[in-house]
Amino acid sequence: MTTEAIRIPITAAADIGARLFAASTPRGVVLVHPATAVTQGYYEAFARYLCGLGLHVVTYDYRGTGASRPAQLRGFEVSMSDWMLEDVGAVTRWARLRFPALPLLAVGHSVGGHAIGLSPDTAHLRAALLVATHAGITRTIRGRAERLRVWCVMRVLAPLLCGLLGYMPGRRIGLGEDLPRGVMLEWSRWTTLPRYFFDDAALEAARRMSRVAIPLLVFGFDDDPWANPGAMDILLSGYTSAPLERRQFNARSLGLPGVGHMGFFRRRCEATLWQEAGAWLLQKLADDTDTAKANGGAA
């Protein structure tokens, strides 16, 4: 396995920082679409694991975060819908051009799973794994204390701090990474809507997601207060055309101290959840190969 730092163009004036984990004998390429306020380093251990299975893996940072953060976040204009409609598509197109002979797969964490549904370039994927993907509506969060904390962040701190500073200082308030103003305010607005971004007419989320027809595997975890089954139901209802399989896990039954919203990508999940995820991704590649052989063509 080798690693390579890369820059992927988004527009003529903007690009994002990414990293390629290259397998010695690749069978396919996996794109890892990150969660909000989470940088690509968080996914490195999982990327290395998949690379060991014979898969190239691409990790990256959305515009305004991590290796894609400008010198000044104040005044930097990008929205959450830009991430999903533009950044994700650019990464997918880059992978297609770099590896034209290899099939593409994706793993979407939280908002990364939303992006798989919204990006038109998802049509170029063979299959995708969605991890802790849910409609981020404040009222659906489990636990009164957590629900109140999120309400305060989204309804009070987000407009106040974005107005004063011109960006969201996520690191200072325990939200994860700092976020561009447009990202935070759009996210905050969606959390107030009854059906999250499905109620944002400009996004046309229902139309976009209904076009996704690739196989999807969805992982949920009993100790995740955000991506609980009810919140996942709302988001997943948009995938009306995709063959969709859901697996709900209890951390204790797996011998894990917890998984929650973020824990899947920690190395302690390698012997259980990572193996299950990797086996499914490889099976989707094998299914396509078998279908191609049966039809007398190449995969």
Q: Is residue 61 assigned to a domain?
A: yes
Domain that holds residue 279: 2-140+201-294
Report residue 10 as tokens: 């988004």
Q: Is residue 159 assigned to a domain?
A: no
Q: In 230-247, which positions are buried (b, 16+ CB within 10 angstroms) versus exposed (e)?
A: ebbebbbebbeebeeeee
Q: Which residue has the tokens 């691409």?
A: 58
Q: Is residue 44 assigned to a domain?
A: yes
Separation CA 76–CA 63 (nearest Å): 9
Number of domains in the chain: 1
Residue 287 pLDDT grade (very low, low, confident, very high; cuts 50, 70, 90): confident
pLDDT in tens, 62-90: 999 999 999 999 999 999 999 999 999 99
Indicate which CATH number applies to the domain containing 21. 3.40.50.1820
| Mean pLDDT estimate for the chain | 95
Q: Is residue 168 assigned to a domain?
A: no
Q: Is residue 136 assigned to a domain?
A: yes
pLDDT in tens, 174-205: 889 999 999 999 999 999 999 999 999 999 99
Separation CA 20–CA 8 (nearest Å): 11
Report residue 110 as tokens: 């939280």
Separation CA 177–CA 73 (nearest Å): 12
Distances in whole angstroms, Cα of residue 226 to Cα of each of 191, 197, 223, 233: 12, 16, 9, 12
Separation CA 30–CA 50 (nearest Å): 8
pLDDT in tens, 208-256: 999 999 999 999 999 999 999 999 999 999 999 999 999 999 999 999 9
Q: Is residue 299 assigned to a domain?
A: no
Strand pairing partners for 18? 6, 60
**Residue 21 backbone dihedrals phi, psi, to 5 degrees:** -105, 110
Q: What DSSP string runs through 1-34? A: -EEEEEEEEEETTEEEEEEEEE-SS-SEEEEEEP
Separation CA 270–CA 289 (nearest Å): 26
Q: Is residue 151 assigned to a domain?
A: no
Q: Is residue 153 assigned to a domain?
A: no
Fill in the amino acid letter for 106. Answer: A
Distances in whole angstroms, Cα of residue 190 to Cα of each of 139, 186, 198: 12, 6, 9
